[in-house]
Amino acid sequence: MTYRLLSAGSAMLTTALVAVLVGGAGVLVGTGRAHADDPAMHHVKYTVTAKDPIYADIYYIDKEPPTFADYSHNPYQYAPHVNFDVGPDKAWSFELDLAKPEVWAMVTASTGTEPGTPGLHCELSVDGVVVVSKDGPKGVLCSIRHW
């Protein structure tokens, strides 16, 4: 192993460089997040209608689960169920804010055991823009991701 003897000027420069590096690292570490920043929230709106009046079963995500495991363990805690009369002039809608609408925004509607094919329609909008619009004879699902 070889050791190099530094002159007084080099030692001062080395000491100053170490101080700057350590001080700079302290600044970098110090400017990190002390607390988790709140994620940007997106305004989500679900809408369900039908060409012909029908009593529809509607499930929708009404709050964002902390993890997918939480959702899988008890999906009905995050996706309540309502029955609602929908038609061409009678829409069901729900609005909420989600941090990850690309993961969690979802509404589904079906006729259940009701006879007929009323032509269900759903829309999902994020921040005022319709991002999904679907039609189905007896059932429909609007979601950004594939379930």
- E-only strand ranges, 15-53: 42-50
Whether 27 shows a pLDDT value over 90: the answer reads no
Phi, psi for 122 (deg, rounded to 5): -130, 155
| Helix, strand or coil, per DSSP, at residue 25 | helix
pLDDT at 10 over 50: no
What is the rounded CA–CA span in Å between residue 111 and residue 107?
A: 14
Give, in order, the Cα–Cα distances in Å from 100 to each of 18, 68, 86, 112, 119.
43, 12, 28, 29, 29
Q: Above 60 in pLDDT, residue 16?
A: no
Per-residue pLDDT, 109: 98
Percent helix, strand, coil in the chain (nearest 5)?
A: 25, 40, 35
What was the pLDDT predicted at 112?
Answer: 86
Q: What is the pTM of this model?
A: 0.73
Q: Topology of domain 42-143, per CATH?
A: Immunoglobulin-like (2.60.40)
Tokens 């609408």 locate to 101
Structural contact between residues 131 and 113, judged by C-beta atoms closer than 8 angstroms: no
Would you say residue 12 has pLDDT above 50?
no
Assess whether pLDDT exceeds 80 at residue 35. Answer: no
